[in-house]
Every structure is written in C-alpha cells, then in structure tokens.
Amino acid sequence: MTRSIIAILRGITPAEAVPICECLIEAGITRIEVPLNSPHPITSIAAMAKAFGHHAQIGAGTVLTVNDVHDVSDAGGRLIVSPNCDTDVIRASKALGLQSWPGVMTPTECFAALKAGADGLKIFPASLVGPDGLKAIRAVLPVDCQVYAVGGAGASNFGLWVKAGANGFGIGTALYTPGLPVADVRAKAAAIVNAYDEATA
C-alpha cells in the first residue's frame, strides 16, 4: 500500500540515511526527502536511492535552485520538494522527469505552480493556513489536484485535514530528529501510519 505521506529527514547524516530509510519503508512510508540543508544531503540521497530506489521514491527537500535539481537528479533522486513556489525549479524538475512538490500558501501560488507543471502542492506552513483555510483554497483548485499539508499536520489531527481536503502529508520532526535511534524512528513511523490509515479509512 502506498500512503500519501512524505517523510522529511531534516538533519540526517549519510551514516544514518540507509538504516533510517529502511525502517520507514518497512513501516509503510515510501516517499522520503532529505532537506538540502542537512549535512552532506546529496551523499545521503545517493545512498538511499542506490539501496531503495526501486522500493521507494527518494529525493530532496528545501530545493531552492535549478542547480539543486540537477544535483539531486544526478544522485538518483526522483522527488523535488521546495518550501516556496519557484517556477524555474518546477520546470527544471519536470524537464528531468522528476516529481515536483513546491510550497504554496495562496491560490495565486497554487495556480502558478500547477501552470508550471507541479505534480502536487505542499501547503506550507500548514499551521498558518489551517484546515479552514485549506478548505477555502481547495474549493477553487482542480478536483484531481494533489494537496499535502506540511508543518502543523500530524497524527493528532490528520482527520481534520482530510476533511478539509488534504490528500496527504509531509511529516518531519514527528518522525525523525537528528540522532534519533532507528528503533525510535520505527515506533514513530508505525504510529504515524496507524493514524493516517484511521483518518483515511
């Protein structure tokens, strides 16, 4: 089962990358990003893509430039997530056959991202928009548009976001913080997956 969850491994190191990635996949989370402001992120992405690229969609977050997109692609990454709506980054991602998930907050940004070819929209920070704000934005977006809530969505409120129109979620510190043992990440991932499954049943 493919769940609409993107794991955000901010701060992960290359030494942690493969075992953490493996435990997330085992828990049922198969879309994983390494933010580019992590230590040696391209090395981590390359290791994860080599080990699990056939089982999961591996890529980068905090992707801010076209050069970043090329670096991620060269490392075997297939997922480009940004905190902002940069149409050059979106177009570069699509030109390389990568998934593009830009960060947006307003209808203007949403439609600019979709026009540039984005595969989905990352409402960020979702805590500022809130479920009511998402519901209002969702009303004007194409029905088949994928919208993920990131930053403020978690196991305790997945249901509220789903009712407001969220298709999925990006989960960061609720899953992983730097140095967290694999066993703890596995337990957190299981809790997130269980809550997601209940909210989307």
Q: How far is CA 154 from CA 54, 98, 127, in A?
A: 27, 26, 11
Write the CB contacts of 147 (distance below 8 Å, at least 6 apart in sequence): 120, 121, 123, 134, 137, 138, 141, 165, 166, 167, 168
From 76, 103, 71, select the one nearest 90 (Cα to Cα): 103
Q: What is the identity of the amino acid at 122? A: K
110 within 8 A of 116, measured Cβ to Cβ: no
Alpha-carbon torsion 88, 93, 94, 96, what sign? positive
Catalytic residues: 33, 122
Q: How far is CA 135 from CA 8, 145, 164, in A?
A: 24, 13, 5
CA distance 91 to 109: 15
Q: Distance between terminal CA atoms of the chain? A: 13
148 within 8 A of 137, measured Cβ to Cβ: no
